[in-house]
């Protein structure tokens, strides 16, 4: 009996999609439990925050894998529309509030209330969430999410007060997607994903980009996303 030919990549993409949905449900359940545990047990609340953080990282990885698969299959059309930046940034803060509260990290948003731009909300939010998760991991006490217009570019920045990006990460951020190496593991995948999503946003001859440097407004790492 002949076995049907299996397109493993398609099966994997379908499995990733199902796992992502399950993780989203788990994250919502943990959010519901947070208040109850905070009133009964500090240690249990702290452990739940740590689990929530790791689940959020895993969910971010799955989103990246699914997006990369669609890019490889040329099935990742951008669904661009006009979105208010302040709403998106505040939603990111709320999404990660459990972990930032547990680590006593103050996350602030600096953005004009009427600032809007055209982009793919799901992809850009996923990109920024991944970078915010990374910032929370290494920040000491405060993070700033900042959005503004500069020379007809939308600039979204994440400032932290940690020790800054390592040299090899800064060098990797300067590589083109054609020569990018994913041997750095999860960090490499995150940067590769960020570059792809940024470059997919185009306006005439201009393409989006990311920049990473140290010496932020808080003295730590600075991640910047530029969208045309």
- Which one of 25, 43, 72 terminates a domain? 72
Exposure of 159 by Cβ count < 10 A (0-12 exposed, 13-18 middle, 19+ buried)? buried
- Which one of 48, 72, 96 terminates a domain? 72
Rounded Cα distance between 130 and 93, Å, is 12
Rounded Cα distance between 210 and 196, Å, is 10
Give the number of domains in the chain: 2
pTM of the model: 0.76
Residue 183 belongs to some domain of the structure = yes
Residue 152 belongs to some domain of the structure = yes
Matching residue, tokens 């990374």: 134
Query: pLDDT truncated to tens, each residue of the chain (228 aa)?
Result: 455 565 656 666 677 667 767 777 777 777 667 666 666 666 776 777 777 777 777 777 777 777 767 666 666 667 889 999 999 999 999 888 888 888 899 999 999 999 999 999 988 998 999 899 889 989 999 999 999 999 999 999 999 999 999 988 888 778 766 555 555 444 567 788 888 889 889 998 899 999 999 989 999 999 999 999
Q: Are 225 and 127 in contact (CB under 8 A)?
A: yes
Q: Is 207 helix (H, G, I), strand (E, B) or coil?
A: strand
Residues 124 and 152 in one domain: yes
């Amino acid at each position: 009996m002949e076995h049907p030919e299996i397109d493993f990549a398609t099966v994997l993409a379908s499995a990733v999609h199902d796992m992502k949905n399950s993780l989203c449900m788990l994250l919502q359940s943990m959010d519901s439990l947070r208040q109850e545990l905070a009133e009964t047990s500090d240690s249990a609340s702290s452990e739940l925050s740590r689990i929530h953080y790791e689940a959020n990282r895993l969910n971010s990885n799955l989103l990246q894998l699914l997006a990369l698969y669609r890019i490889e299959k040329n099935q990742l059309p951008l669904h661009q529309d006009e979105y208010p930046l302040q709403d998106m940034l505040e939603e990111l803060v709320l999404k990660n509030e459990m972990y930032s509260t547990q680590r006593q990290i103050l996350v602030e948003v600096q953005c004009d209330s009427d600032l809007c731009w055209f982009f793919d909300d799901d992809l850009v939010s996923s990109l920024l969430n991944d970078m915010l998760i990374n910032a929370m991991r290494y920040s000491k006490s405060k993070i700033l999410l900042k959005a503004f217009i500069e020379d007809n570019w939308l600039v979204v920045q994440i400032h932290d007060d940690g020790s800054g990006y390592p040299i090899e990460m800064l060098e990797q951020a300067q590589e083109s997607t054609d020569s990018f190496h994913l041997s750095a593991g999860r960090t490499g995948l995150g940067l590769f994903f960020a570059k792809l999503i940024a470059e997919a946003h185009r306006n005439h001859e201009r393409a989006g980009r990311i920049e990473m440097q140290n010496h932020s407004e808080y003295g730590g790492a600075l991640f910047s996303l530029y969208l045309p």
